[in-house]
Amino acid sequence: MPALHQSQTASRPWNGRYTFYHPNKNGTGMAARFELKLDPLRRHGGSCFFLEMARQKTAAAGPGQDRVPATFDWSNKATVKLGFLDLCEFLAVLETRQEQAGGARKGLYHATGAGNTLIGFGRNAERGGYGLSVSRKDRAGSIVFRGHILLSEAEGIGLKHIFQHGIFHLAFHESLLPAES
């Protein structure tokens, strides 16, 4: 196989995503998607993970093989960019070094020109697992999105491994690209 030059690898997708779906029979469930975006040439603001959260749109319906799965409203999702230090905050919780991301701040605060977002992630001792929440307000202070999902212990282990492996690539993927000749 011939060696790839940086210009060839830069156009190749270096991304991956995983979604946690938590539908319920009332149609009030949530889904959380984590997507790794590597930007080797820093064309789009650098590499990161994106967290997307969507509300359940419809409940599952029908019996047996005719069952139609629940759907989620991805067109009205909340999207949050998670950088290196944000991932470290998630990992500190997943590795039981702190109770919640952000420590005493009780969450991770992100401000943009459109408004602000508070990302909550912490251990849920009462129900077991990890609570993940996203609350977004516009510049006027009106809530435009609020969502919460409870990840199980097993899902927490999976997320921990996704972040542990992903954080290396966020930090060092540029050095893994072949040198241009």
**Overall domain count for the chain:** 1
Partnered with residue 79 across adjacent β-strands are: 52
Q: How confident is the model at residue 176 (pLDDT cuts 50, 70, 90)?
A: low
User: Domain of 57?
Assistant: 6-176
- The pLDDT value recorded for residue 37 is 86
Q: What is the C-alpha separation between 86 and 89, in angstroms, rounded?
A: 5
Q: Is residue 102 in some structural domain?
A: yes
How many residues in total does the chain contain? 181
Q: Is residue 166 part of a domain?
A: yes
Do the domain assignments include residue 181?
no
> Is 69 inside a domain boundary?
yes
Q: How far is CA 57 from CA 4, 7, 65, 115, in A?
A: 43, 41, 21, 25
Encode pLDDT of 49-107 as tens digits.
999 999 999 999 988 888 899 999 999 999 999 999 999 999 999 999 999 999 888 89
Per the rule left: phi > 0, alpha: psi between -120 and 50, beta: everything else, 21 is beta
CATH of the domain at 28: 2.30.31.40
The reply to whether 44 falls in a domain is yes
Question: What's residue 12's pLDDT?
Answer: 47
- At 95, give phi and psi (nearest 5°): -95, 15
110 lies in some domain? yes
Taking only the tens place, the pLDDT of each residue in 7-59 is 444 444 556 789 999 999 999 999 999 999 887 656 556 788 999 999 999 99
Asked whether residue 1 is assigned to any structural domain, the reply reads no
Strand partners, 117: 110, 136
Could you tell me if residue 124 is inside a domain? yes
With a cut of 90, say whether residue 144 has pLDDT above it: yes
- pTM of structure: 0.84
Cα–Cα distances in Å, from 123 out to 19, 53, 93, 154, 156?
20, 19, 7, 13, 10
